[in-house]
A and B are shown apart, each in its own frame.
Chain A
Amino acid sequence: MAREATAALSTPSGFRAPAPLGVGCSYPPSLPGVIDRVGDLVDFVEISPDMLCRQVETGPGPSMTFVEELLGPALAATAGLPTVVHGLELSIGTASGWNQDYVDLLDRFAMLRPFPWHSEHLGFTMVAGADGRPVQTGVPLPLPFTRQALDVVVPRAAAMAARYGVPFLLENAAYYLRRLPADPGWDEISFLNALTAESSCGLLLDLYNLYCNSVNHHFDPLAALQRVRLDRVVEVHVAGGFEEAGFRLDSHSDAMPPEVREMVAWLLPRAPNLAGLVFEVQEPALPAFGVDALRAELTWLRTAWDRR
C-alpha cells in the first residue's frame, strides 16, 4: 500500500483564506484550445495534474509520470493565468493509506507551476488488495459519516496543507448509495463541518453535487446549504447534468439547473472567504456541450461574482 506522507501528521494551527481570484474553469487536457476561447471570461484555471500523466511500472509497483505531450500544452495554454490544482487520485479517505504516487506527482507539478490553493475529492478511489498492493475502485466512493473516517482524513488534510504551504480544500462528493453509515446525529453536512472544525482544511463546495444528493436522498438543498460552515468555503463548483433511473447524476455535462443558480445566488454574499467560482464540465461531455454554452455559463457566473 502507499507510503504515508512524510509531512507532520498533526492537527494544524489554523485555516488561512487565500486571496480571491474570481471565476474559473477546468482545463480539458484533450482540448487545450478551449482555454483561449474563454480566456476573456475567466480569472483562473483549475488543473488536475493526474490527467496529464500516465502510469508506469517501476518495480515496486506502478507510479505516475507526466506525459510531455499533455503537460507541455497544459502549461502553455494556461500561461499567464493563475492556476489552482484539483486532484483526483489522492484517495485521502483510504483507511490503509493514501496514494503517495499522487503526492509525488503534485510535488513535481508544484515546481513547474505554483498554485494559491489545491483541492481533492473527499472519498476513496483505492483500497488495499489481498496482496497489499493498491486496487483502484474505478469510481470515487464516499466515506461513512463517522468519527473513524474523520480521524483518517483530518491529519492527512493537515499534512497536505503543510506540504505546499497553501490552503488545502476537500470537495463534497455526490453518492448514490442509500443510507451511508453514520455516527448517531451525523449526516453529510455535520461531517463536513466537523472536518473543517478539526483541521485547517477549507471546503470546495460543489453545489451541483449537493443538489444531486438532495434529489437522490430526499432533502432540501438550500436548508442543507444553510447548515454548512460558510467561512470555510474557499471554492465553489457548479455544473449541470441529467436524471436517469430515478437518480440525478453528477455527470457535470450540462448547464446549471435553476436550483443550482439559486444556491449560487444565496451563497455568494454569505461566504466571506470564497476565492473562486468554477464552472465544471467533464471533458467527455465538453464537445457536445460546446464552447458557446460554456461561455454562457461563465458569463452568468461573472455577473453573479461581480454582484456579490
Chain B
Amino acid sequence: MSLDGWQVALAGLVSGAAGAAGAGGGDLTADEHRWLEEQAGSDGLLLTTEVGRWWRTFRIRSSAPLTVAALAADAPAVLDRYLDHHAEASSFFLAEAGQFLDFVAGAHEAVPGPPALVTSVVALERAMLELVEAGPTAPPGAGPGLGAVARHPRATMVEMASPPAATLAALLTGGRPPEPGGGPFWLLVAPGIAGFVRAATAGEARLWQSMGEQPVTPGGDDRTALLRLWAAGAVLAYADPPIGA
C-alpha cells in the first residue's frame, strides 16, 4: 500500500477533483482502488465533502461579509460556483476570502445583481484584506515636502455610487442599500487609517486619480488633499522630483 498515494487520492475525492478515485498512481493495491471507487458518490464521502465546503463558506462569510451581503440572494450560488471552481481549500480565513474576492472580481459577467455595488465592495474588502495580511505599518513621519509623491502600493481609492456609510451599514445589518445617486462617493483604504478605511473628499479622489501608478509632483492647490492622504499613509514621498516628472 502507498499511504501517500491513498491520501492524495482521498483528498482529491473530497475536494471533488476530477478523476481522483484513480489518482495515487500504481502504488495502490486493487483493494485500495476498489475502496476509493466505493467511496465516490457514497453518503459518507458526500458528507465529508459537505463539511469541508461548509467550513470554507464560513471562512468566506466571516472574512468577506460585505461582499457576501452585496451579492444578496445570489450569494449561495456564487459561493457554490467558487467552491466548484477552486477545489483547493485554505484553512486560513484571509487566504480563502482573498481567493473568493478575486473570483468575484474576475467573474462579473457571471454575477447577477447590482454590479456597481458588488464591484465597489469587492474592491473595498480586497484592499482591506491586503492591509490586514500585511500587518501593522509604521505611522507616517513628517509631511511631504515639495517633491514628488506616489500612491502607497497597499492604498486604494474605492468609488461608490451611493453614500458609503448608509450603504455599508445596510449591508452589515441585512438592510436594503440606498439607491445610487448624489455621488460619486469615495472611500480611502490605507495603512495609516484606524480600521484602514475612511471617507475621502473629492479633492483627495482627484489627486489620487492624477497620481496614477507613477510619482507626480502635486500642484499647490492640492496641498490640503495631499496632507490628508499623507496622514492616512496613502502616499509615499520622494525627496526630489523624479527625472521627467
Residues of A within 8 A of B (CB): 30, 50, 53-56, 62, 65, 67-68, 88-89, 93-96, 124-128, 135-139, 141, 144, 146, 148-149, 152, 175-179, 181, 216, 244-247, 249, 284
A149 to B95, CA, bound (A): 30
**B8 smallest CB distance to A (angstroms):** 5
Bound-state Cα–Cα, A137 to B87, Å: 9
Please tell me the number of chain B residues within 8 Å of chain A, measured between CB atoms: 43
- CB neighbors of A among B83-100 (8 A): 88-95
- B173 beta carbon closer than 8 Å to chain A: no
The answer on a CB contact under 8 Å between B88 and A177 is: no
B60 CB to closest chain A CB (Å) equals 12
For the A-B complex with A138-B89, A245-B43 known, give 20 more contacts whose Cβ atoms are closer than 8 Å. Answer: A50-B91, A53-B92, A54-B94, A54-B133, A68-B135, A68-B136, A88-B91, A125-B91, A128-B4, A128-B8, A135-B11, A139-B55, A141-B7, A146-B1, A175-B48, A176-B47, A177-B45, A178-B39, A181-B31, A216-B44
Contact between A89 and B91, CB atoms less than 8 A apart: yes
19 A/B residue pairs, CB under 8 Å, sorted by A: A54-B94, A55-B94, A55-B95, A96-B7, A136-B88, A137-B52, A138-B14, A138-B55, A138-B56, A139-B14, A139-B51, A139-B52, A141-B14, A146-B1, A176-B47, A178-B38, A181-B1, A181-B32, A181-B35
**B3-31 Cβ-contact flags toward A at 8 Å (1 or 0):** 11011101100110000000000000001
- Residues of the B chain whose Cβ atoms lie less than 8 Å from the Cβ of A244: 47
Say how far A3's CB is from chain B's closest CB, in angstroms: 16
Q: Which of A88, A138, A247 is in CB contact (< 8 Å) with B15?
A: A138
A30 to B93, CA, bound (A): 12
| Residues of A with C-beta under 8 A to B47 | 176, 244-245, 247, 249
> Which chain B residue has the least Cβ–Cβ distance from A180?
B35
| Residue B137, interface by CB 8 Å | no
